[in-house]
Structure 1
Amino acid sequence: MAETRNDPLAAWLKAHEMSAAELADAVNEAILKLTSKPGSTSERTVWRWLSGENRWPQTLQRTALEIVTGDTITALGFVPRGKDKTVSPPPAAHPEDPSVHRRRFVGAATGTAAGVAIPFASAGSRPSRVGTSDVIRLRDNVENLVELDAVRGGHTALERAALAGASEALGLQKQSTTQRVQRRLFALASDFTATAAWSMIDAGQLDNAGRHLDRALTLAGMAQDPDMTMQVWNLRAMLARQRGDYAEAVGAAQAAQATSAVRRSPMHASLAHARASIGLAHAKEHRAALRSLGRAEDAMAKADLSAPLPTWMSFYGPAELHSITAIVHNVVGRPAEAEAASHRALSALPKTYRRNRANATVHLAVAQLRQGDVEQAVTTGGQVFDIMAGAPIPGRMRQALGDFQRDLITLAPSAHLAHEWIDRYRTEWSTP
């Protein structure tokens, strides 16, 4: 019978940016923790799993794989055989199971500010041997922070949790015995630190963000990780734009374009060009801004939209590019095009993406206002508060609503509807 490639396992490795050798190491580490004896899984073993040559690993390897990945063995694409064809329910999670850690982390992170940092391992509980399983666990925590950001937006508790993650990654790096794991841990420390910076940017608290990004860029260099380097330059461009330093925003976006991550990935290239277009638009280089926007669209057209993205880039796709297009067209004085792009963004965004929908709605309201449709604009602007009902409004969104209010006052100073909108929503958009 022909061998069948194990696509679920291959997809897991790609999503977690792991090599076959790293998975073998992680499985052996899990076996060591289970039995006090090192496992013998090799890179060749993993390749046999991936090719379908071995479709049902040994018992200890199966258990270790579930511990490492947090998935059941069948969800990983393996097929039971013989007496194992009736697979019993998954065993109770091992104390080191990443899924247990993930649930504990999310629960703490959504609680008090003091509790956010608790889930990271304490010094006394760290394993004596630092390896790939630690990398996987910390990467899960990065993903948890991204999920928390999607729910709450940027806030200081998220910043502290991210910095705690960076601190643990660096502490483990000092104990690691292999250069490969050391570089991974430096990359994770960079990712955590950049996440802390993003939290402050989104919260509108910009003073600490620059320091975090300086540190994240240093760590990305030590990791020799072009993807992390790209992430930092992307955030640097966003920070500079919020500060009104448009030359720096363009320069940071161009630095992102120079990374090898952009050269090998059309999605990375699209984001870098889109970020440059915003800076150029604000710098009043309108033709250059539209050219960059065109390059962003061309690059996305070449991308495989079904391919997994790094966690930090999970926000980027056609809907986000439509939103950026709306921003650029609003800035360069093309409100009709901005309105059309905003509608495309809202059509492409899932209902669950509340913050993204709220941001796109602000851009839509601005575009309508700049076309003189005051009544429609104030109605659209009010929808932001309905979308965000029950959730805090991040500082960056409050700033955008403040810009909309200033446009209202400037473009329709005597309109009754404008004053009614301001009186109704002033408290809601200005309250942290």
Structure 2
Amino acid sequence: MAETRNEALAAWLERHGMSARELADAVNDAVRDLTGRVGTTSERTVFRWLSGENQWPQERQRRALETVTGLAVRVLGFVPRGKTKTSLPPAALPEDPDVIRRRFCGAATGTAVAVAFPHIASPNSRPQRVGTSDVIRLRDSVETLVQLDAERGGRTALERTALAGADEALGLQHRTVTQRVRQRLYAVASDFVSTAAWSMIDAGYLDTAGKHLDRALTLAGMSQDPDMTMQVWNLRAMLARQRRDFGEAVAAAEAAQATTIARRSPLHASLAHARAAISRAHAGDRRAALHSLGRAEDALDRADASAPRPSWIAFYGPAELHSLTAIVQDLVGDPAQAEAASYRALGALPDTYRRNRAHTTARLALAQLHQGDVEQACATSADVFEIMAGDPLPGRMRQLLGDFHRDLITLAPPRVAHEWTDRYRTEWSIA
């Protein structure tokens, strides 16, 4: 049988930024934990797995791989001898994000950390040597928080859990670590703190978010990870815009553009240009805003949509760019184009991005209102409350609905504005 490259394992390695040597080391560590003796997996062994030359590792290696990655070996692309991939039973799917959300949301404040980071509960049970598998477990916890944020938006409970994750990553620095693992732990800590900062931006606690971003930038610098640095500058631009400091927002977006990752990755460059477009539109520079928007579109066209990406930028793609385009077009005075872009965004948004769908729907209502279609705008704004039913609106969304309310008072008959206020006062104003 011809050898077939193991694309699933290759994608997992790329997604986690791991080399073949690092995976071999992590597997050997896991074998030691399982058997009491360090494994003998070599870099060459991993290359054989990737090439398809070895499609079914030894049992102890299979168990170690599952320990390191948290995935079944069949999900990682391995095939038992005498079998084909098409003859295998379907692999177990990852846990439903809604199940994770309910479990997290139902946890009391004191147990939320244990829910998201079960490995933190018994630190003395962990071996003193820290390796790549520890980094992977922490990264998986970041991804869980990103899923929760996409569902519910910014919350102080999510912030506390993210900060606990950062403390865990930094605490591991006191054990035996290689320089490479140390830098990765700093990168994960920066990711956790940035997640906490974003949660506070979305919740409307801007001073707290600013302090978190100061810390996240320091950690990103210590990690020497340009991806984490770009994440911080992206959030800096968003924070400055929420503070209505549009000059700083433009400067932060330009700093994001100047990062190594933005120069290398069209996806990152596109987000940086889109962030600059919004900042310049808020600053009243129509020409520069549309120019930046065009550059964002061109860069996204060059990006490989199938390539693995870090969890923090997983939200960004055609749907998000349409949503950001709607904001820019409305700000520069073209609400019809903004409405069209909002519809394109809603058509492309995955169902799991519940908070983003509600936010884009609110932007759609604003675009309709700015065209004088008051009745339709009020009906569209009602959908925001339906989408977020069961959860309080994040502070950033309440602020956007406040913008809608102020414009409604200005552009609509008083009766309509009063009716909207009376109908949605409780949902809109609750903190």
TM category (shorter chain) comes to over 0.9
Query: How far off its partner does 1:354 sit?
Result: 1.9
Q: Is the 8 A contact 1:349 1:357 kept in 2?
A: yes
Q: Is the 8 A contact 1:281 1:332 kept in 2?
A: yes
Tell me which amino acid in the other structure corresponds to 1:423. D
3-state SS in 1 of match to 2:134: helix
Q: Is the 8 A contact 1:201 1:209 kept in 2?
A: yes
Q: Is the 8 A contact 1:129 1:176 kept in 2?
A: yes
Tell me, in whole angstroms, the C-alpha distance in 2 between the residues paired with 1:104 and 1:295: 37
Tell me which amino acid in the other structure corresponds to 2:240. A
- Against the structure 1 CA distance between its residues 65 and 234, is the aligned structure 2 distance closer, same or farther, given a 3 Å change threshold? same
Tell me, in whole angstroms, the C-alpha distance in 1 between the residues paired with 2:354 and 2:21: 40
3-state SS in 2 of match to 1:390: coil
Pair 1:234 & 2:234 matched = yes
3-state SS in 2 of match to 1:333: coil
Tell me which amino acid in the other structure corresponds to 1:360. T
Tell me, in whole angstroms, the C-alpha distance in 1 between the residues paired with 2:124 and 2:63: 26
Query: How far off its partner does 1:298 sit?
Result: 0.4
Tell me, in whole angstroms, the C-alpha distance in 2 between the residues paired with 1:400 and 1:229: 28
The 5-angstrom pairing of residues 86-235 of structure 1 reads 107-108=103-104, 110-118=106-114, 119-121=118-120, 122-235=122-235
Query: How far off its partner does 1:369 sit?
Result: 0.7
The 5-angstrom pairing of residues 330-345 of structure 1 reads 330-345=330-345
Query: How far off its partner does 1:79 sit?
Result: 1.8
TM-score normalised by length of structure 1: 0.93
Q: Is the 8 A contact 1:6 1:49 kept in 2?
A: yes
Alpha-carbon displacement from aligned partner over 1:143-180 (angstroms, at most 9, x marks no partner):
11111212221111111111111011011122133111
Tell me which amino acid in the other structure corresponds to 1:404. F
The 5-angstrom pairing of residues 12-91 of structure 1 reads 12-81=12-81
Q: Is the 8 A contact 2:150 2:356 kept in 1?
A: no
2:423 maps to what in 1?
424
3-state SS in 1 of match to 2:78: coil
* Gaps in structure 2 of 5+ consecutive residues: none
3-state SS in 2 of match to 1:391: coil
Tell me, in whole angstroms, the C-alpha distance in 2 between the residues paired with 1:305 and 1:283: 31
- Against the structure 1 CA distance between its residues 47 and 69, is the aligned structure 2 distance closer, same or farther, given a 3 Å change threshold? same
Pair 1:257 & 2:257 matched = yes
1:95 maps to what in 2?
none
Tell me, in whole angstroms, the C-alpha distance in 2 between the residues paired with 1:372 and 1:105: 39
- Against the structure 1 CA distance between its residues 87 and 295, is the aligned structure 2 distance closer, same or farther, given a 3 Å change threshold? closer
Query: How far off its partner does 1:415 sit?
Result: 4.1
- Against the structure 1 CA distance between its residues 341 and 84, is the aligned structure 2 distance closer, same or farther, given a 3 Å change threshold? closer
Alpha-carbon displacement from aligned partner over 1:283-316 (angstroms, at most 9, x marks no partner):
1111101100000000001111122221001111
Query: How far off its partner does 1:380 sit?
Result: 0.9
Q: Choose 167-176 or 336-345, whichever is displaced more.
A: 167-176
Q: Choose 390-399 or 323-332, whichever is displaced more.
A: 390-399
Tell me, in whole angstroms, the C-alpha distance in 2 between the residues paired with 1:225 and 1:110: 35
- Against the structure 1 CA distance between its residues 404 and 44, is the aligned structure 2 distance closer, same or farther, given a 3 Å change threshold? same
Q: Is the 8 A contact 1:29 1:39 kept in 2?
A: yes
Q: Is the 8 A contact 1:49 1:55 kept in 2?
A: yes
- Against the structure 1 CA distance between its residues 105 and 262, is the aligned structure 2 distance closer, same or farther, given a 3 Å change threshold? same
Tell me which amino acid in the other structure corresponds to 1:420. E
Tell me, in whole angstroms, the C-alpha distance in 1 between the residues paired with 2:160 and 2:11: 32
Tell me, in whole angstroms, the C-alpha distance in 2 between the residues paired with 1:340 and 1:108: 36
- Against the structure 1 CA distance between its residues 87 and 360, is the aligned structure 2 distance closer, same or farther, given a 3 Å change threshold? closer
Tell me, in whole angstroms, the C-alpha distance in 2 between the residues paired with 1:297 and 1:213: 28
Query: How far off its partner does 1:88 sit?
Result: 11
Query: How far off its partner does 1:47 sit?
Result: 0.7
3-state SS in 1 of match to 2:372: coil
Query: How far off its partner does 1:22 sit?
Result: 1.3
- Against the structure 1 CA distance between its residues 197 and 104, is the aligned structure 2 distance closer, same or farther, given a 3 Å change threshold? same
The 5-angstrom pairing of residues 300-315 of structure 1 reads 300-315=300-315
3-state SS in 2 of match to 1:81: coil
Alpha-carbon displacement from aligned partner over 1:244-271 (angstroms, at most 9, x marks no partner):
1100100000000000111111110000
Tell me, in whole angstroms, the C-alpha distance in 2 between the residues paired with 1:87 and 1:358: 40
Tell me, in whole angstroms, the C-alpha distance in 1 between the residues paired with 2:35 and 2:89: 21
Query: How far off its partner does 1:105 sit?
Result: 10
Query: How far off its partner does 1:320 sit?
Result: 0.5
Tell me which amino acid in the other structure corresponds to 1:57. P
Query: How far off its partner does 1:126 sit?
Result: 3.0
Alpha-carbon displacement from aligned partner over 1:167-208 (angstroms, at most 9, x marks no partner):
110111221331110010000000001011011001111111
3-state SS in 2 of match to 1:71: coil
Tell me, in whole angstroms, the C-alpha distance in 2 between the residues paired with 1:191 and 1:431: 29
Query: How far off its partner does 1:80 sit?
Result: 1.2
Tell me, in whole angstroms, the C-alpha distance in 1 between the residues paired with 2:50 and 2:43: 11
Pair 1:275 & 2:271 matched = no
* Gaps in structure 1 of 5+ consecutive residues: 91-97
Tell me which amino acid in the other structure corresponds to 2:340. A
Q: RMSD between aligned alpha carbons? A: 2.3
Q: Is the 8 A contact 2:155 2:203 kept in 1?
A: yes
Query: How far off its partner does 1:357 sit?
Result: 1.3
Query: How far off its partner does 1:367 sit?
Result: 0.7
Query: How far off its partner does 1:321 sit?
Result: 0.4
Alpha-carbon displacement from aligned partner over 1:385-405 (angstroms, at most 9, x marks no partner):
111111221111111001100
Query: How far off its partner does 1:365 sit?
Result: 0.7
TM-score normalised by length of structure 2: 0.93
